[in-house]
Amino acid sequence: MASRRTYLVLGVLLFVWAELGTKGQEEEEEETCRLMRKFDLNGYVDAKNHSIIIGGLFPIHSRTIPENESSFEPVSAQCEGFNFRGFRWMKTMIHTIQEINERKDILPQHTLGYQIFDTCCTVSKAMESAVVMLMGQEENKPNIRNSTGAYLLGVIGSGGSALSIATSRLLSLYRLPQMGYASTTTLLSDDIEFSTYFRTIASDKIQAHAMVKLVQHFGWVWVGTIASDDDYGKYGVKEFKANLEGLNICIAFSETIPKVYSNEKMQKAVNAIKGSSAKVIVLYASDLDLSPFVLEMVYHNITDRTWIASEAWITSALLAKPEYFPYFGGSIGFAVPRSDIPGLKEFLYDVHPSKDPNDVLTIEFWQTAFNCTWPNSSVPYNLDHRVNMTGKADRLEATSDRLCTGEERLEDLKNTYLDVSQLRITNNVRQAVYALAYIMEFLSKCKAGIPPEANSRCSELKTIEPWSLVNTLHLTSYKILDEIPVKFKSSGDITSGHYDILNWQLEGSKEVVFVKVGEYKFDEYKVEFILPRNSTIFWNTVSSKVPHSVCTDLCPPGSRKVIEYGKEICCFTCVPCADGYVSEKPDKRECTKCGEDYWSNEDRSKCVLKEVEFLAYDEALGFTLVILSILGALVALAVTVVYVLYRRTPLVQANDRELSFLIQVALLIIMLSSLIFIGKPHTWSCRARQVTLALGFTLCLSSILGKTISLFLAYRISASKTRFLSMRPVFRKLIVLLSVLVETGICIAYLLMRPPRVYKNMESQVIKIILECNEGSIEFLCVVFGVDVLLAFLCFLSSFVARQLPDNYYEGKCITFGMLAFFIIWISFVPAYLSTKGKFKVAVEIFAILASSYGLLGCIFAPKCFIILLRPKRNTAETVGGRVPTADKSIQLTSASVSSERNETAVSTVLDD
């Protein structure tokens, strides 16, 4: 706001000066204001015999000579550093005006003149030029918009953004239209502050968006920015950063390069580049401002960087030199569309110092181009007051020993001025001139047959107000020959256009060429980024591949990004996903939890089905238990066969043969039921295993109870110990039947009300699914096996009491040992079962089943089978049925048989069927 007020005050002072000057002339005052000195300006003026004048501001020089600090008087600085590119732009304006004057369809009643000044790439010289265009430098004769005596239509310029901002603030006070050709800063899009500014080049808002699209296209997320220390660079980078919001692209560093060389500031920018891992750098600056920076890159030998160029330097021949290619080769950026201008090449070649001895710019051009001194010329040769890379100010002024002959050939030159292969900004200059010419044509053209006073579009030149030019520029469009029509928004920006995406490549080893690799098109409604896959882009990297520019490499699948505190979002640490979580794609912020039946693989990159664990037949443990089960069943079957074959023998017939067969059948069922526990659980197997086991044990234990109760009652020792008690066989069968029926009823209720089911146990082991049987109701299960426990307890008690009977008469001791082993096994089973998980839990249960079955089988039937098969002499009625004298140890039985005393006074009661 402060600078805006300054320009406003300056404008008011100019207006007051003009009014005072006019009054001074009219009143013929004795004392008049006198100019102390004039601005030192160079340029071209052609205003005679022309009714319309177009002003032009071009950077024909690159800088001003530093002022003498000891002088207190204001001076108009001189310029140095001849700029061939700016000289070509200026010549293009002159050529375009001549072209328009030769045409009969544009302003046929008028001819265009020009007033062109050199801005020297500085705000001060640009402001001096704008003031002279408005008022001239004649004493007491200020004449706004008519300093040359002709009508000032508008101004073309001023080149750089900072210069255009300064001059526009002054020219807008008088509503004088200004047409820019190279200024792209977004500040100039303010239709209030810069209401009279228009431009034929897109603003940096479009270019910044295009740069972001380019960065996204190649997957760069860690980029640096370098900007010139002016409105163009600062606001260009600001717009670029604004477009990055929400895209997860980070700025590694952001530095500026000074307009006036400062070793400290330059080294800061260089160190930022050297110390950063960013391999891609956005460079927003003009080619003139970049020259010292390029020398620094060469001096520090900084290579392996990819530069994203703005339109101000991507096609600059000043920088695109073979000696700079190792450092800036492969640069990729955006350029305004290329065009061919008919007749311009010939016009550029038509220049020679001998045509006008007072043309100091042409003389300086000739001296600089051919490295010679023009005879009898006061134009200095090759002035240079820049600060060198040591930070010391040097004045490099030299005079060439070789005099120019005038015979030098422009055809032998290879410089920016004569290079018409990349007419881009140059074509913008041409379009700017045509824009002003077409607007004047539109306002001054009268419809046929209608008098001027009745024609609203018909205006006399002298009556056209500046504001009408500005308003008309907003409303109309124009077209140069076959080119795309140009139309302006209310902000003064063009409504549509496109950029060429260029890449620096080396042709042979002698010349840097700008290869078009894509386009960026835009209009009022959409944008289109075009970069074909088959584009032959040169990358200045060691691998010659697309540069890799990241703060941290992408987190691989199986890990997630953790942002480090206080750092950019692009700088992160990769943390492996937790168990059960995966990230299938790289660069994920969060890991995804696997489904219920899935678990993460070893790399945490994919969810895989959990391993289903159960006691399988084909594994060692399962196979071993199967062998033991089958072996036990075969042993039980073998005992049964022995009992069937020797069913007539006294030992088999003793103490209820049928109960013995039931015990053997029950043990066979128990042995085979353990096979149901092995293998993948199913609904039927879950329901069958516990029920089958319970019924098998019920049949076995109830049969043993029938035996033990008969033993308990068979021999009740009276005071004389001479009488036996008996139990009918039918009652023993009833005990078995009743026990089995009760157990069957409980099992049926269990299966109907709370049946077991297949259960996926995921709590025991997170990496596995333990496929097991959920027993449904623990209460029912306890009742089911509680019957077996009760039977076993009764068997143990009755057999324990009967153990005192003579060994050759009863099997009480064998049953007692069998039941004792049964209880020991199942009591040990409970803590072992509760402390194991998975398939081992089932294995413990099977082991308990088999061990208890083997124990009963061995204790009850092994001694009898031993006698039947190996000691048949003991299997006699006398031995089994009668008493054997205790002195005869050779025929004592190891297992009691049931008999009665046949001798003396005792009455025998046979207990078998």
CA-based radius of gyration for the chain: 55
- Average pLDDT across the chain, whole number: 82
Residue 479's pLDDT band (boundaries 50, 70, 90)? confident
Q: How confident is the model at residue 197 (pLDDT cuts 50, 70, 90)?
A: very high
Confidence (pLDDT) at 588 = 86
What are the E-state strand segments in 523-558?
527-530
Residues 698, 791: contact at Cβ < 8 Å?
A: yes
What does the pLDDT read at residue 484? 75
- Average pLDDT, integer, range 663-673: 91
- The whole-angstrom distance between residue 29's C-alpha and the CA centroid of its chain comes to 78
Choice among 210-224, 278-292, 831-845 with the minimum mean pLDDT:
831-845
> Which one of 16-20, 293-297, 708-712, 878-882 scores highest in mean pLDDT?
293-297
Least confident piece of the model among 512-516, 547-551, 809-813: 809-813
pLDDT band at 578 (very low <50, low <70, confident <90, very high): very high
- 429-444 pLDDT per residue, tens: 999 999 998 888 877 7
Give the model's pLDDT for residue 450.
41
What was the pLDDT predicted at 809?
A: 44
Decide if 705 contacts 735 (C-beta within 8 A). yes
Q: pLDDT tens digits, residue range 64-106?
A: 887 765 556 678 888 988 999 999 999 999 999 999 999 988 8
d(CA 810, CA 251): 99
Residues 58 and 79: beta-carbon distance below 8 Å:
no
Instruction: Give the pLDDT band of residue 500 (cuts 50, 70, 90).
Output: very high
**Whole-structure pTM over 0.85, yes or no?**
no
Q: Which residues contact 247 (CB under 8 A, 6 or more apart)?
A: 212, 216
Neighbour-count burial for 420-439, b at 16+ CB within 10 Å, e otherwise: bebbbbbbbbbbbbbbbbbb
Indicate the pLDDT class of residue 460, thresholds 50, 70 and 90.
low
Out of 360-369, 388-397, 873-882, give the one with best mean pLDDT: 360-369
Residue type present at position 205: K
Query: Could you read off the pLDDT of 737-781 as tens digits, one per residue?
Result: 998 899 899 999 988 988 888 888 887 778 888 888 888 888 888
Strand order in the sheet with 757-761: 611-613, 768-774, 757-761
The whole-angstrom separation of Cα 337 and Cα 423 is 8
The 8 Å CB, 24+ separation contacts for 342-346 are 343/95, 343/99, 344/92, 344/95, 344/420, 344/423, 344/426, 345/418, 345/420
Which tens digit of pLDDT belongs to each residue from 15-68? 444 544 444 444 444 455 666 778 889 999 998 888 889 999 999 998 888 776
pLDDT band at 451 (very low <50, low <70, confident <90, very high): very low
Separation of alpha carbons 636 and 674, rounded Å: 14
Could you read off the pLDDT of 308-358 as tens digits, one per residue? 999 999 998 889 999 999 999 999 999 999 889 999 999 999 999 988 888
Q: What is the CATH number that goes with domain 43-66+76-201+344-355+425-446+460-487?
A: 3.40.50.2300
pLDDT given at position 220: 92
DSSP string, 60-122: SEEEEPPP-TT--S-----EEEE-HHHHHHHHHHHHHHHHHHH-SSS-TT--EEEEEEE-TTS
Q: Which two tokens stand for residue 13?
A: 């002072």
Q: What is the DSSP letter of 137?
A: S
Amino acid 296 reads E
Contact (Cβ atoms closer than 8 angstroms) between residue 77 and residue 124: yes
* Residue range 204-335+496-530, CATH number: 3.40.50.2300
**What is the pLDDT at residue 314?**
93
Collect all residues with Cβ–Cβ distance below 8 Å to 409 and sequence separation of at least 6.
Answer: none
Three-class SS string for 240-262? Answer: HHHHHCCCCCEEEEEEEECCCCC
Q: For residue 582, name the pLDDT band (cuts at 50, 70, 90).
A: very high
CA distances from 129 to 156, 163, 184, 806 (A): 12, 11, 21, 141
- Measured at the alpha carbon of residue 782, what is the angle toward residues 778 and 785, in degrees to the nearest 5? 135
Residues 501-512 have a mean pLDDT of 88
Question: How high is the pLDDT of residue 71?
Answer: 59
pLDDT of residue 60: 93
Instruction: Quote the pLDDT of residue 398.
Output: 47
CATH superfamily of 620-879: Rhodopsin 7-helix transmembrane proteins (1.20.1070.10)
b or e along 311-326 (b: 16 or more beta carbons within 10 Å of the residue's beta carbon)?
Answer: bbbbbbbbbbeeebbe
pLDDT at residue number 646: 87
Q: What percent of the chain has pLDDT over 90?
A: 33
Q: How confident is the model at residue 881 (pLDDT cuts 50, 70, 90)?
A: low
| pLDDT for the residue numbered 459 | 54
Residue 25 vs residues 13, 20, 30, 139: alpha-carbon distances, Å: 18, 9, 10, 11
pLDDT at position 64 is 87
Q: What pLDDT is recorded for position 511?
A: 87
pLDDT greater than 80 at residue 893? no
Of the pLDDT bands very low, low, confident and very high (cuts 50, 70, 90), residue 361 is very high
Q: Where are the domains of the chain?
A: 43-66+76-201+344-355+425-446+460-487, 204-335+496-530, 559-609, 620-879
pLDDT value at position 143?
63
C-alpha span between 138 and 780 (Å, rounded): 120
User: Who wins on pLDDT, 166 or 261?
Assistant: 166
- State which of 2-6, 344-348, 889-893 shows the largest mean pLDDT: 344-348
Average pLDDT in the 467-485 region?
75
Name residue 182's amino acid.
A
Write the pLDDT tens digit of every residue in 248-281: 899 999 999 998 888 899 999 999 999 998 999 9
Tokens of 237: 């980078």
- Residue 374 CB partners (closer than 8 Å, separation 6+): 353, 363, 366, 367, 403, 404
pLDDT at 771: 85
Residue 851 clears pLDDT 50, i.e. is over it: yes
Higher-pLDDT residue of 883, 781: 781
Handedness of CA 532, 535, 537, 543 (dihedral sign): positive
DSSP track, 798-824: HHHHGGGS-TTT--HHHHHHHHHHHHH
Place of tokens 């993948």: 680
Q: Which stretch, 382-391, 536-545, 729-738, 828-837, has highest mean pLDDT?
A: 536-545
> Tell me, what's the pLDDT at 25?
47
pLDDT digits (tens, 9 = 90+) for 524-538: 888 999 998 878 899
CA distance 522 to 529: 9
The two domains 43-66+76-201+344-355+425-446+460-487 and 620-879 share their CATH topology (first three levels equal) = no
User: What sign results for the dihedral spanned by CA atoms 348, 352, 358, 361?
Assistant: positive
Handedness of CA 763, 765, 769, 771 (dihedral sign): negative
User: How far is the C-alpha of 216 from the C-alpha of 223, rounded, in Å?
Assistant: 11
- Give residue 652's pLDDT: 81
Return the pLDDT at 331: 95
- In whole angstroms, how far apart are CA 183 and each of 98, 186, 206, 342? 25, 9, 13, 25
Overall average pLDDT of the 678-686 stretch: 89
Q: In Å, what is the CA distance from 268 to each residue of 160, 253, 256, 392?
A: 25, 11, 9, 17
